[in-house]
Structure 1
Amino acid sequence: MNGLSSKEVLKSRELHGSNKLPEPKLDKWYDFAKEALSEKITMILIAIAVLQLFLGVMGVMDLSDPIMILVVLAIVTCIAVKTGLGVQKSAAELRAKTSVRYCDVIRDGKVQTINKDELVVGDLVCIGMGQEIFADGYLIEGKISVNNAAINGETKECKKTPVEGYVHKKTTSTDAYTNQNCLFAGTTVMSGEGKMIVTDVGVNTVNGDTLVKMQTLEAPKTALDIALDNLSDFISKWGTIAAVITFAVLTISGIAQVGFGEYFSGGVLNIIQKIAQNFSVALTIIVAAVPEGLPLIVKLVTKQNVKTMEKFNILAKNPGKIPELAYVDIICTDKTGTLTTGIMTPKKIIDGFGNDVNKDSVLWNNIKANISLNNSATFDSENNITGGNSIDRAVLSLVNPETYADIQKKYPVKLKQVFNSSNKYSAFTTKDGVTYYKGAPEKLIEHCTKVMDSSGEIIENNDNDTLSNAITAMTSNAMRCIAVTMADGDLVENEIPNDMTFLGIIGVVDPVRDEVPSAVKTAHKAGIQVVEITGDCIETAVAVATECGIYKDGDLALTNDEFEAMSDDEVKSIIPRLRVISRCSPNTKLRLVTLAQEIGKSVAMTGDGVNDSPALKRADVGFGMQGGSDVAKEASDIVLTDDNFASVVKAVELGRTFMHNIMMFLEFQLPINISLLILSVIYPMIATGALLASVQILIVNIIMDSLNSLSFGGEPPKDEYMTEKPIKKGSGLFIRGAKKRIALSTVAFIALYGIITFSPIANMFASETEAMTARFALLCFMAVFNGFNIRTEHINLFNGIGKNKLFSAIAIGIFVMTFALCNFAENLIKVTALDFKHWVVVVILAFMVIPIDLIRKIIKKKRENK
């Protein structure tokens, strides 16, 4: 039982390979380029550019248009490649972090904690309740039950015990899944503990091939992705309809002006040139309508949020759930290790008469024997306490390593039943036929008919009132109480004898984390209900909830039994007042999540145990704990590396920031797209030619919008986000009056375009090229000024701008780029240099979007203050 030596580990790894699974194949830069160039709108642009290029070579069309379209598409493709590679790298880093799992092995005679990838054939692995099995092997010590759903789809637990003299033989038969002692990678220990010998690792395990295939599966689209796709499809549809109408109008008006015969005279190339010209204008409308920057902004903001979350101890296993955090309006949280530090410390030990236990008494010797034998925690080679749960580790700290070793040697194990959340106790029978029990007081005390006093004498006692009052006093002071008892005879699994002897109560304390009361206060200000769900008794649960600020007079605190006794309709009616559930069972967690969702709540659930996994999976957002079971972490969407409730609230804040940043981009992009769509249809009907050249719209709609997606994606969390109510479930993509703001911006854009195009100001421009240049510059500048409106609802547009330095840099960059293009690009993008008075007019008109929006903000604030 000393395990492999260091040399044997190296030799085994050489012979049988590593337990690390192969990484999924990464896309190359050309894969992302191919994906970008295969977009429908891009393929249409390439086709029209090639046609125009052909006509230009034949001398019937200018070459500048197709060349610049191809240049812009090349830039767009480079942006797509860079973004794709960056997102892929970020996803790989996240996968590497979330796939790190640890297990305990015995090597060189010592218990060592290693990464699962370091397991080798022949390793002696310690396994226990809640742990995933990371390699194939067989049980040589202990008694466990496993869930084999990962390999055969069966959820029924399968009991495993060692086979004496077992010799392993490799088999592909599925009968091995349910045999007495074989264990397989990917399965989960549901109860018990033991030791296994590893026989196969990595891709050689039964589940290895399946696990490799799982890595290559693409995640399904999120609700946000689907909503954005639907929006793009909707706009594209109407853009296409508008383009067809415009093409028809231009062709018919051209024929009407010169006659059918004249219009189609001049040779085949001239006819193609006219049709291509009209088609280019129609295509311009499609380009103007489609918000090409949307997929980019979603990828960029997701990537930035994942990185930001990691800085706050939040590992977003499923990045698609980040926007869901903005909808969360109820957080169901564990107590131990989440609201509290999770470091249990024994504070008080009382006997059956409510008195403190004398550490020199016979009674204390029996209690020491109980907590030393009846414990899943142990001392490692450095005499540090390891393994077990927090309670096991806490009570074991009452015994020194030497005493522990002596007791283990003196009382060899005969039978053992480890703790599980259903039974709420553990038991240990010695070779002498004495069974020690340790667990929840309400589970064990009612089965006690005798009490041991300090001298070791056993006294008949049926009066538990004094003891009950003492326990109540301890739990009211936020102590968690553990009862220790004993009985003659062997234990019977899942049965408690009715003539036990009571030994004592151990009270352990777990202090509330310093930052939790502030985090609870922030959650309440954000309109989020917090419910503490704990295995503790009602008095302890309420005491901790009160200290955290979760519970106050008039709120509702229930025991698990009270909750289970309620009908579904009764539970739904009390959910808004509910703050605490004590002695909570896994089924209660799942039922609470389900019923809360049925009344329209968006639920976040924390959990660390095996039995928490159904509730974590069912919740809108499941938070697993780094220190929790592998099953819970696998079922969760987000893993907290510090197990801290404050990190849950921070995750909500970052989720709200994500949604605000997405909405900022939509409010920035859609007025441009909608106004261009409307104006591009109307303008050719009123005037001759197009509102803007295709290449100009491409520059505005792709390059400049992509730059602004970077700036909005970098907007940090704002304090006001956590004073808003959660987004209501089913409220759609546009939130908090976004449609009205988009409509106002669109009307402002169209009105300002009307002024520069049809008012006396239009006479300032000597040629159509000058006028088109002014319209191009006006659109660029309006977009930038509108960006200042969008990024804050404050009257002061510079509020918090220092926290997003990229925004200012990009705004200045777009101003400079626009000026440079207009003055130096000339024929390449159909522009010409403007003089000083032209620039003054363009800037003043563009700036008008700011006072227009300020009026809206002032009116809104007045309404809010009424």
Structure 2
Amino acid sequence: MALFRGHGMVETLRFALVLCVASIPVAMPTVLSVTLAVGAERLARRRAVVTRLAAIEELAGIDILCSDKTGTLTQNRLSLGRPFCVPGCAVDHLIHCAALASREEDRDPIDEAVLVAAAADPPVESRRLEAFQPFDPVRKRTEATLVESGARRFRVSKGAPQVLLAMAANAVAVQADVTRAVEGFAARGYRSLAVAEAEGDQPWHLLGVLPLFDPPRDDSKTTLEELRQLGIATKLITGDQVAIAREMAGQLGLGAEILLAESLEDLSAGPFHDPGERIERADGFAQVFPEHKYRIVELLQRRGHLVGMTGDGVNDAPALKRADAGIAVSGATDAARSAADIVLLSPGLSVVVEAIRESRRIFQRMHHYAVYRIAETIRVLVFMTVSILVFDFYPLSALMIVLLALLNDGAILSIAYDRTRWSPRPVRWQMPVVLGVATALGLAGVVATFGLLWLAEVVFAQPRELIQTPPLSQALGGGTSDRVRGPYGGALLVCAAGPAAAAGGGRHPAAGHPAGRERHLHGPDRLGVGPAGVGLLAGVVPGGGSGEATGLPAVRPTADPAAQPQGDLSSTLSAAGGVPEGLMIGLSAALIGLPY
């Protein structure tokens, strides 16, 4: 079209190149990185350290949280109850053997509870520890080999009842009683710890079961309810038995649908068996091994969920790495922290609630920027195209377009501090919605800016050199006036409003607010954002208007522009040619206040 109308090839190509470059969101990586970095700093204040910035966006969208029971939902402070002993074994001997299979330097909560209960037993000087195997999540037991002065060599072990029953030679005789005792403990929320001993290399002999109680944290039930209100389903994961998990889930307000982790791989239901559906319906999982955690996360992700996983041990690292938001709880090992996306510095899950809310605020800022940037790109491209087709006129020069891109992209960095509200539901990128809203706002901006150009070109027949100023002011101000906050507001609005605003200084003449003061204007006062609002009042009311009507000092222009007070906008309007020019600048200032 430009060539058909006789424009030069070089000038046309140069302008098209500048327009294309200005439409590219070159500041998008910077803006998003700054927004995430500022959000990570705010999360750190809430004692949630982010190790991967992209995890903030994923944390905002999780809809399922898989949480460990011990130490996360419970206090991890175990106390010993009244034990169960097989016939022929005394309580003191049971506790003594359990203490021999414990090690104080490991700082394990179970070992500490057992050692506290056995503290009254005097140490045997002639006894020597020959070997010790610490607790292993796969073996689920500890084992110690000891030698006494009389060359007596014996072994002691403590661990999961089902593991020690499978090893014991007297399992057939005591299994019914042990099972009944374990179920009774589990019904009251007690964990069961079996104890066994063996002489030399002889078979193991089960001695009894110790009940251990780990009370839930005071804030766990409230935290889970807050997560539920945020649209997040919490699934309990524990290595304990089903009865214990069900009892704890009841105390925490979770459901009673607890699955055995082994059942996840059960294919007996036929070739169409879908374990992901069972996991989706379950409220928790019992007798979980580390590999089961990875499998649970994987199956939930296949069902379309964004999954968060908490963990603290070395064996939790694969599941933390697999999860969309891996969360290492307070006191986690170095391996778990390195694999996690977020590291909690405070015990419990209450920090997670605050982190999710803050991440959703951050996501809203990113969402707002995406809508804004797409809308501004549509507005500039469509406005320039329509203006050239209708009026055969470039309303913005190449330099103005570059200035528009620089000032808008620079000002939008302040969106990292924008005031937003967290969504009550998990948030994800919905590109059809983003594009639809941005297109509607961009076209509305085209109508506003093109209407300003039409008034100047057709109604007031203004020179085109003057016309180029209001569209630039409106294009710049429309993008920055609602986004700028804090110390940047006044200065950027003065730049955005063009020469007319710069003549008025950096202070609201009526209210006396400094340009750098954090302030968001609404209603009639919105027209006074920066000094550009004076242009509207002076343009609509010939002669500047009265102080009663506008809230501004009444300033009457004189025939001699030099007689006007320095810094007064009326002098600028008089020098520009009178009321029509002032009205155009005023309309430009009014359009700056449109809510993009």
Match of 2:263 among 536, 559, 562: 562
Is the CA contact (8 Å cut-off) linking 1:288 and 1:677 kept in structure 2?
A: no
Counterpart in the other structure of 1:350:
83
**Post-superposition offset of 1:327:** 2.9
Distance change in 2, residues 1:773/1:820 (3 Å): closer
Counterpart in the other structure of 1:233:
none
Whole-angstrom CA distance in 2 between matches of 1:664 and 1:611: 40
Counterpart in the other structure of 1:373:
100
Q: Deviations over 1:346-377 (max 9, x none)?
A: 140313269xxxxxx99344334323321233
Distance change in 2, residues 1:559/1:699 (3 Å): same
**Post-superposition offset of 1:582:** 0.6
Which residue identity does 1:844 align to in structure 2? Answer: A
Which residue identity does 1:500 align to in structure 2? Answer: H
Whole-angstrom CA distance in 2 between matches of 1:445 and 1:323: 47
Is the CA contact (8 Å cut-off) linking 1:528 and 1:726 kept in structure 2?
A: no
Match of 2:583 among 826, 831, 837: 837
Match of 1:677 among 381, 385, 389: 381
SS where residue 253 of structure 1 aligns?
Answer: coil
Which has the higher relative contact order, 1 or 2, with Cα contacts under 8 A spaced 6 or more apart? Answer: 2
Is the CA contact (8 Å cut-off) linking 1:762 and 1:771 kept in structure 2?
A: no
Match of 2:369 among 665, 668, 673: 665
Whole-angstrom CA distance in 1 between matches of 2:6 and 2:381: 21
1:500-539 mapped onto 2 (5 Å cutoff) = 500-502=205-207, 504-539=208-243
Whole-angstrom CA distance in 1 between matches of 2:491 and 2:217: 46
Whole-angstrom CA distance in 2 between matches of 1:396 and 1:821: 80
**Post-superposition offset of 1:321:** 2.3
Counterpart in the other structure of 1:434:
154
1:107-146 mapped onto 2 (5 Å cutoff) = none
Which residue identity does 1:838 align to in structure 2? Answer: M
Counterpart in the other structure of 1:587:
291
Q: Deviations over 1:682-731 (max 9, x none)?
A: 32343344221333333332223322232x21235624x1x22443xxxx
Counterpart in the other structure of 1:333:
67
SS where residue 322 of structure 1 aligns?
Answer: helix
Counterpart in the other structure of 2:493:
815
Counterpart in the other structure of 2:195:
484
**Post-superposition offset of 1:577:** 1.0
- 1:472 equivalent to 2:183? Answer yes
1:78-97 mapped onto 2 (5 Å cutoff) = none
Which residue identity does 1:478 align to in structure 2? Answer: G
Whole-angstrom CA distance in 2 between matches of 1:692 and 1:288: 12
Match of 1:396 among 99, 105, 115: 115
Is the CA contact (8 Å cut-off) linking 2:85 and 2:94 kept in structure 1?
A: no
Which residue identity does 1:313 align to in structure 2? Answer: R
**Post-superposition offset of 1:733:** 6.0
Q: How many residue pairs align between the two structures?
A: 516
**Post-superposition offset of 1:773:** 0.9
Whole-angstrom CA distance in 2 between matches of 1:842 and 1:762: 16
Counterpart in the other structure of 1:777:
473
State the Cα RMSD in Å.
Answer: 3.1
Counterpart in the other structure of 1:797:
none
Q: Deviations over 1:746-805 (max 9, x none)?
A: 111011122111247853463222211111111233224565xxxxxxxxxxxxxxxxxx
Counterpart in the other structure of 1:601:
305
**Post-superposition offset of 1:463:** 4.4
Whole-angstrom CA distance in 2 between matches of 1:747 and 1:669: 13
Q: Deviations over 1:385-440 (max 9, x none)?
A: xx24322233223244x957x24x44211233222111111111211222111111
Whole-angstrom CA distance in 2 between matches of 1:337 and 1:762: 74
**Post-superposition offset of 1:550:** 2.6
Which residue identity does 2:341 align to in structure 1? Answer: D
Is the CA contact (8 Å cut-off) linking 1:287 and 1:697 kept in structure 2?
A: no
Counterpart in the other structure of 1:639:
343
Whole-angstrom CA distance in 1 between matches of 2:448 and 2:498: 23
Whole-angstrom CA distance in 1 between matches of 2:477 and 2:302: 47
SS where residue 137 of structure 2 aligns?
Answer: coil
Whole-angstrom CA distance in 1 between matches of 2:72 and 2:174: 37
Distance change in 2, residues 1:302/1:680 (3 Å): same
Is the CA contact (8 Å cut-off) linking 1:346 and 1:506 kept in structure 2?
A: no
Distance change in 2, residues 1:843/1:626 (3 Å): same
SS where residue 279 of structure 2 aligns?
Answer: helix
Is the CA contact (8 Å cut-off) linking 2:307 and 2:324 kept in structure 1?
A: yes
Provide structure 1 residue ranges, at least 5 long, that are not aligned to the other structure: 1-248, 256-273, 355-360, 379-386, 451-459, 492-496, 788-805, 826-831, 854-866
Q: Deviations over 1:464-486 (max 9, x none)?
A: 54543333232222222212222
SS where residue 308 of structure 1 aligns?
Answer: helix
Match of 2:438 among 720, 731, 742: 742
Counterpart in the other structure of 1:253:
5
- 1:544 equivalent to 2:277? Answer no
Distance change in 2, residues 1:650/1:742 (3 Å): same
Whole-angstrom CA distance in 2 between matches of 1:464 and 1:824: 89
Whole-angstrom CA distance in 2 between matches of 1:318 and 1:294: 19
- 1:462 equivalent to 2:462? Answer no
Identity across matched positions, percent: 21
**Post-superposition offset of 1:589:** 1.3
Which residue identity does 2:199 align to in structure 1? Answer: D
Q: Deviations over 1:842-862 (max 9, x none)?
A: 233444x44xx8xxxxxxxxx
Q: Deviations over 1:68-114 (max 9, x none)?
A: xxxxxxxxxxxxxxxxxxxxxxxxxxxxxxxxxxxxxxxxxxxxxxx
- TM-score by length of structure 2 reads 0.78
Is the CA contact (8 Å cut-off) linking 1:478 and 1:540 kept in structure 2?
A: yes
Counterpart in the other structure of 2:395:
691
Which residue identity does 2:261 align to in structure 1? Answer: N
Q: Deviations over 1:634-662 (max 9, x none)?
A: 22222222253233343333333232211
Distance change in 2, residues 1:283/1:447 (3 Å): closer
Is the CA contact (8 Å cut-off) linking 2:43 and 2:355 kept in structure 1?
A: yes
**Post-superposition offset of 1:615:** 1.8
Whole-angstrom CA distance in 1 between matches of 2:501 and 2:351: 51
Whole-angstrom CA distance in 1 between matches of 2:192 and 2:427: 38
Whole-angstrom CA distance in 1 between matches of 2:248 and 2:419: 33
**Post-superposition offset of 1:666:** 1.3
Is the CA contact (8 Å cut-off) linking 2:80 and 2:113 kept in structure 1?
A: no
Which residue identity does 2:116 align to in structure 1? Answer: S
1:725-764 mapped onto 2 (5 Å cutoff) = 725-727=426-428, 734=431, 737-759=433-455, 763-764=459-460
Match of 2:31 among 297, 314, 324: 297
> Comparing 836-845 with 609-618, which one deviates more in the overlay?
836-845
Whole-angstrom CA distance in 2 between matches of 1:650 and 1:716: 16
Which residue identity does 1:842 align to in structure 2? Answer: S
Distance change in 2, residues 1:372/1:350 (3 Å): closer
Match of 1:313 among 47, 60, 65: 47
Whole-angstrom CA distance in 1 between matches of 2:172 and 2:12: 100
Whole-angstrom CA distance in 2 between matches of 1:539 and 1:715: 48
**Post-superposition offset of 1:610:** 2.3
SS where residue 130 of structure 2 aligns?
Answer: strand
Whole-angstrom CA distance in 1 between matches of 2:265 and 2:501: 75
Is the CA contact (8 Å cut-off) linking 2:78 and 2:109 kept in structure 1?
A: no
Which residue identity does 1:367 align to in structure 2? Answer: L
Which residue identity does 2:162 align to in structure 1? Answer: E
1:229-240 mapped onto 2 (5 Å cutoff) = none
Counterpart in the other structure of 2:136:
420
1:697-712 mapped onto 2 (5 Å cutoff) = 697-710=401-414, 712=415
Distance change in 2, residues 1:391/1:717 (3 Å): farther
Provide structure 2 residue ranges, at least 5 long, that are not aligned to the other structure: 504-571
Distance change in 2, residues 1:534/1:748 (3 Å): same
